[in-house]
A and B are shown apart, each in its own frame.
Chain A
Amino acid sequence: MKHLRIGALLSAILVVAAACTGTPAKSSTTLVVALPGDIVRTDSMLTDDSNSSYVIQQVVEGLVGLAPGSTSEIVPVLATALPTVSKDGLTYTFKLREGVKFHDGTDFNAAAVVYNYERFRTVPDALQEYSYYTGAVFGGFGDASNLESATAVDDYTVKIKLRTVSSNFVLTQTLPVFGIQSPTALALGLADNSETDITKITGAQGGAGAMVGTGPFKFSSWVEGDSVEIVRNDTYWNTAAIAKLEAVIFKPVAEETQRVNGLADGTYDLVQVIAPADVATIAANTGLQAIDRGSSFNIFCLQMNQTYAPVSNPMIREAIAYAIDKESLIQTFYAGAADVAKNWMPMNVQYALDLELPTYDPAKAMELIAASGETDLTIDFWYPNDVTRPYMPDPKGLFEAISAQLEAVGFTVVAHDAKWRSGYLDQEAAGAYEMWLLGWTGDWAGPDNFLSTAFFHYVDGKPSPEFAYKNDKLDATMAAALAATSDAQAKKLWEKAQNLIRADLPTVPIANSKPQAGASIDVKGFVGSAGLNEYLNLVYLDRTGN
């Protein structure tokens, strides 16, 4: 009993002492970044989530990339220049940088590039579900892949041949998924397509051979659910861009409030995405800064399925578009950090036109309803009740505001809600909803990624059940635009596609939100990008103010 008391006393003293003692000064060479979630895998090819990509792009580089701060300006990275294209539009020739080494000391050369592209082409069946972008960009795998071959012309020249012309090829190669990794490391990590059981591929699971690229940072460790650490590559080939930080630690923090609280108390130096509602809190704190990423790379829409009346009637859809006060939604729910949508894609995407979509005019909406001949104006309207998305910061609030605006012009809204992962996405995709809230964050800044991939693609030659939007001419135009051999031809066809969609107004685009980053005032040199292609080797910490 005596010992117990002494123990309790000592513990109490320790706790009080600990509580009263300050912690050591914050490191000025280690940056702690809060991400919305943990990474999923450490192999760029076997990854399709934004958290993994955000980390991987600091470590693994591709032949081409995006200029800092841009979503569409393509710059050569491991290639010395943008590729030359053959007259038939099928063969791309890349000249490679010399003297570059992977983090494991392996030489970067044409053989390494060919090895990686062969890997993209021949993803084994059992791994294809983990490699969404490889399949989506090349249209399949093996013989079904649009990637016909990659061949080394000499040690530093590679030819990549496609089966059919694809006008988005170079743009898609900026995705972190198509980063070039060390062939030695890929073989070591069983990530060379020889092993088909993903659980044994250590390269994808943070073990041997994981994330070995040529970038300004090297992968150091991944503690699942807790942190990913990358450290400076002191021998980075681009000596002008050697990282100023010694290390970057990424922490997964799902709750928006916790991210902002952690920023305020110094737990994190940089929070990748903050909620619009927190921007004012951060701006009011002199130790913090909200970082505007300049433009938007997403679209939020009021979605409709044409299987159901009255939204099957084009005049009703037009009336709905006039009934919605987009400006007031942006002021109320996005704290002003969004643009009124002018298209089904953000305006920084290739060939985007201002489609002069209907603006708020309730009188016009009522006229259209009267002229439509529809008498039953009841609409079943759904929203997700357990998530927020970067393009949809408050689904319930947005739902209520839009419902009120629709009811003001004469519609009767029947409210429904569902859980995002347990019904909502499944049901809307299956065509079970008449009207619902949903948007899209871009993968690459090509019109195909928004107009086709996200929304109006056909499935097996028929309209997707999601929207039941039938327009064969649009489908053919989008296919022709993807196969265009010149930029002028692609532009003309994509503009035609946009006008076709505008004429039908299958859904109502509402806003392009601009999710901001939050950072300590010590963080300098950060260049935000709407597409989150943000390079942390440019960042440094100036703690002198503290």
Chain B
Amino acid sequence: MARYIIRRLLAAIPVLLGLSLVLFAYIRLLPGDPCVAILGQHRTVESCAKLREHLGLDLPLWQQYVNYLTQTLSGDFGNSVINALPFTQEFTVRFPGTLELTIGALIFAIGAGIPLGRLAARRVGGWADGLITGISLFGVSIPVFVLGLALAVIFGVALGWLPTQGRIDAHFRFDSITGFLLIDTLLAGRPDYFVDAVRHLILPSIALGSIPLAIITRITRASVIEVANEDYVRTARAKGLAGKKVDQRHVMRNAWLPVTTVIGLQVGSLLGGAVLTETVFVWNGVGRWVVDAIENHDYPIIQSTILVFAAFFLIVNLLVDIGYAFLNPRIRY
């Protein structure tokens, strides 16, 4: 197992290096540069030239890439060209928000997706199956920002049931220790604030979790149907084992494997979807920050965020692969 993990970690290095090169080139190909974002209508040709020199943007591209790589490898992820704050500081402030949202969306997607998938599999061809399959098709088809805006308009603006902006009511003042508001509100001894944070989390989680929900539902359904037709399941049933026990011990245990893979892959799409969801719900997370960074041509922030997200994605997938061994004792690395 240890050798497998080391091999996978080593394999991640060329992936990340290649990604850094592609990212670097792609970002530099975007028209414009940070000068207008920084100096706005006050900029002059001279002040822009001076700024570019100061930021090292006047150097040849290959040299800029080497500088960037050397800096990154030494653990320095650079500073924002807009407010000069270090990437690590700004990322640390925003990442708990994104993680809280991602976890909320995953709980929604898994919590609803697996039971729905199982239900559809049990009623293959029935009206419940048709309805669930239809809903999951709708979930996959609808863009996150459209669903987010629709949820905000219906449940926030029109009905007034749930808040649509931010992570918590800004009128509340308490010390944020971990950055995770669901934890910090409890540490501050304010269950009422905790409830408010949960209320703020509901709509963004549903919007972000809609696509993974649809995919998890469909994969669970397909996987359960497939396993349910295996010989060993038929044997178990023929033995006279109770339907519930067959489901839990024989069907689901084996149906979990593809579902787990998909959940791992969905973490990547959740991080990507967070960019849109955070923008729609004014959520202070890494996604909204990246949107601003792209708008401002804040090269170090765009590069480092995507690189860190990629590393995160690789690690999650490694953890999923390791998880297989626990789910299925036949798998050994």
Contact = CB atoms under 8 A, between A and B. Distances in A.
B171 A32 contact: yes
A425 B36 contact: yes
A161 interface: no
B145 to A, nearest CB: 12
Nearest to B248: A1
Interface in B184-198: 192-193, 195-196, 198
Given A21-B195, A425-B43, A426-B32, A229 B84 contact: no
B290 to A, nearest CB: 11
B169 A23 contact: yes
Given A129-B54, A258-B282, A265 B84 contact: no
Contacts of A247: 173
Given A129-B51, A199-B84, A19 B161 contact: yes
Contact of A136 (B30, B42, B289): B42
Interface in A330-372: none
A337 to B, nearest CB: 22
Contacts of B119: none
A144 interface: no
A8 B38 CA distance: 48
Nearest to A42: B83
B156 A261 contact: yes
Nearest to A464: B44
Interface residues of A, number: 61
A454 B284 CA distance: 35
A8 to B, nearest CB: 5
Counting chain B CB atoms within 10 Å of each CB, which of A14, A23, A422, A430 scores highest?
A23
A421 interface: yes
- Does more than half of chain B's interface fall in helix, strand or loop, or is it mixed? helix
A225 B282 contact: no
A258 B199 contact: no
A483 interface: no
Interface string B273-304: 00000000010100011001001110000000
A479 to B, nearest CB: 18
B321 interface: no
B327 to A, nearest CB: 13
Nearest to B193: A24
Contacts of B39: 129, 132
Contacts of A26: 169, 171
A446 B170 CA distance: 38
Contacts of A27: 171-173
Interface string A487-518: 00000000000000000000000000000000
A459 interface: yes
Contact of B289 (A225, A261, A264): A225
Contacts of A429: 43-45
B170 A422 contact: no
B162 interface: yes
A420 B296 CA distance: 11
A40 interface: yes
Interface in A428-446: 429-430, 440
A38 B32 CA distance: 22
Given A19-B199, A205-B84, A224-B93, A421 B297 contact: yes
Interface in B106-133: 107, 111, 115
B47 A129 contact: yes
B55 to A, nearest CB: 10
Given A11-B111, A18-B195, A249-B170, A265 B164 contact: yes
Contacts of A14: 198
A11 B107 contact: yes
Interface in B7-61: 30-32, 35-45, 47, 50-51, 54
B171 A30 contact: yes
Interface in A80-123: none
A198 B202 CA distance: 40
A265 B282 contact: no
B292 A225 contact: yes
A391 to B, nearest CB: 11
Contacts of B107: 11
Contact of B45 (A12, A30, A132, A430): A430
Contacts of A419: 31-32
A225 B32 contact: no
B32 A423 contact: yes
B192 A225 contact: no
Contacts of A440: 41
Interface in A172-207: 198-199, 204-205
A426 B199 CA distance: 44
Counting chain A CB atoms within 10 Å of each CB, which of B36, B38, B44, B115 scores highest?
B36
A267 B199 contact: no
B264 interface: no
Contacts of B89: 224
Given A425-B36, A440-B41, A18 B198 contact: yes
A440 B41 CA distance: 8
Interface string B240-272: 000000001000100000000000000000000
Contacts of B173: 27, 30, 229, 247, 249
Contacts of A254: 292
A480 B118 CA distance: 83
Contact of B164 (A11, A132, A205, A261): A261
Interface in A48-73: 48-49
B165 A258 contact: yes
Contact of B282 (A129, A249, A262): A262
Given A251-B170, A423-B31, A1 B252 contact: yes
A350 to B, nearest CB: 21
Interface string B167-185: 0011111001000000000
A129 B47 CA distance: 7
B204 interface: no
Given A14-B198, A224-B93, A225-B292, A199 B79 contact: yes
Given A11-B111, A14-B198, A23-B199, A224 B170 contact: no
Contacts of A19: 161-162, 199, 202
Nearest to B285: A225
B83 A224 contact: yes
Nearest to A18: B198
B163 interface: yes
Contacts of B297: 421-422
A30 B30 CA distance: 42
Given A251-B166, A430-B45, 11 more contacts: A26-B171, A129-B51, A225-B90, A226-B93, A227-B170, A261-B152, A265-B165, A419-B31, A421-B295, A426-B32, A429-B43
21 contacts: A8-B111, A11-B111, A19-B202, A23-B192, A23-B195, A27-B173, A30-B173, A32-B171, A40-B82, A49-B40, A130-B84, A205-B83, A224-B89, A227-B170, A249-B170, A249-B173, A255-B282, A261-B165, A267-B164, A419-B31, A426-B36
Interface of A: 1, 8, 11-12, 14-15, 17-19, 21, 23-24, 26-27, 30, 32, 38, 40-41, 48-49, 126, 129-130, 132, 136, 198-199, 204-205, 223-227, 229, 247, 249, 251, 253-255, 258, 261-262, 264-265, 267-268, 419-423, 425-426, 429-430, 440, 454, 459
Interface of B: 30-32, 35-45, 47, 50-51, 54, 79, 82-86, 89-90, 93-94, 107, 111, 115, 152, 156-157, 160-166, 169-173, 176, 192-193, 195-196, 198-199, 202, 248, 252, 282, 284, 288-289, 292, 295-297
